[in-house]
Amino acid sequence: MIEAVGLTKRYGAKTAVHNLSFHVRPGMVTGFLGPNGSGKSTTMRMIVGLDVPTSGRVTIGGLPYHKLPNAPRQVGALLDAKAVHGGRSARTHLLSLAQLGGIPAQRVDEVLDVVGLREVAKKRTRGFSLGMGQRLGIAAALLGDPQVLLFDEPVNGLDPEGILWVRNLMKRLAAEGRTVLVSSHLMSEMALTADHLIVIGRGQLMADMSVKDFISANSSDFARVRTPEGEPEAREKLTSALVEAGGRVLPEQDGALRVVGLALPRISDVAHGADVRLWELSPHQASLEEAYMRMTQGAVDYRSTADQRAGFQAPAQPGWQPYAPAPAVRPEQAYPALPGEQPNPYAQGAPQPPQAAPPAVPVPAAPSGAPATGPAPATPQAKPAAAAPADLTKRDSQDAR
């Protein structure tokens, strides 16, 4: 079992992990989730002793990694599949690791068979594809037949067959009673693989629960309703009827309606009573991806925006209109809270109050005969808001992995 208590890691003024506590139990696959820069890789490096915590502790079976007897036989990790000497063959790379860990040489051939690299075992790793490098990294993690395994993005670069193989491998390892911690950004894969989830954001714990409980706590089931296109009056009529019946109606981007609080038969009866035809009436059950996005929407450090140069190109043909970017959506608007949802108070960013526009300063009229041009008088500038603590805003992509 892996246990972290008050785990904190700082790099100067930057905080990668802050007061993080969790347990990774044996016999199940534990998914380790979080946005880019949330501190997942830093946490995993501290687990295997590559980084020293600033404060707090993390233990494996009650002992820190550096105090484990013959650690390579107890803990296996895939943290960076590229950490391989390109001039060595796959077999030579694994042999060197086996010698350092006191592992029999025959185990090298066994793990090469397990990951499917037996035919390329004598090839230099510099010629390996991304997927082959991932398989070699998994082989290195399995080399000591350890009871504790950590995998950072293990399916990166694998084809569908390889992804299925990794999924089944993780489940089999957990079924054997091992402790398996897997970090990944593929929510669909985590939904099929993980039994338990640990979610962090900006270095802090956001959730530690089963996949089923996580989805239930951060989402709410609803119904999708669609009226015939070209009949906006029918859509408005149905919306009013559903609200009057006690439902909550939210517009979808594709023109459909999201109805919460009413069962499908009741929605059908309300539409029939309002004499509105329905083109769609379907139930929607939240996915792990939706629940994850809803929880972490306020903890994303790197958020893209529309290209400001879009539309600057000359029209290619008559009548062509330049692209107009959609209005920006604040994080708290992207996934509105639904009835029954239990939003995470740390992740949900509070809406910012609108800033009042500075009062207009009248410009005195120019004297008769004088040109009306010239610099306008400077308007008083508002003082910048106080900066947030450095360990929550100033984050480095390399240090806060």
Query: Which pLDDT score, from 0 to 100, does residue 271 have?
Result: 94
Domains detected in the chain? 2-216 (3.40.50.300), 219-289 (3.30.70.980)
- Containing 332, the helix (H) or strand (E) segment is helix 331-334
List the Cα angle 37/72/156 in 5-degree steps.
40
Query: Which pLDDT score, from 0 to 100, does residue 315 have?
Result: 54
Residues 131-151: pLDDT tens digits? 899 999 999 999 999 999 999
As a whole number of angstroms, the distance between CA 263 and CA 205 comes to 35
**Is this model's pTM higher than 0.85 or not?**
no
Contacts of 189 (CB under 8 A, 6+ apart): 155, 163, 167
- The C-alpha torsion from 257 through 263 and 269 to 272, rounded to 10°, is 20
Query: Which pLDDT score, from 0 to 100, does residue 347 have?
Result: 45
As a whole number of angstroms, the distance between CA 16 and CA 42 comes to 7
Q: Is the pLDDT of residue 329 over 60?
A: no
Average pLDDT for 313-326: 50
Residue that the structure tokens 């640990």 belong to: 198
Of these ranges, 59-68, 298-307, 338-347, the one predicted with the greatest mean pLDDT is: 59-68
Average pLDDT for 307-321: 58
The pLDDT-based confidence of 157 (bands split at 50, 70, 90) is confident
Compare 337 and 204 and report the one with higher pLDDT: 204
Residues 205-246: pLDDT tens digits? 999 999 999 988 887 778 999 999 888 899 999 999 999 999
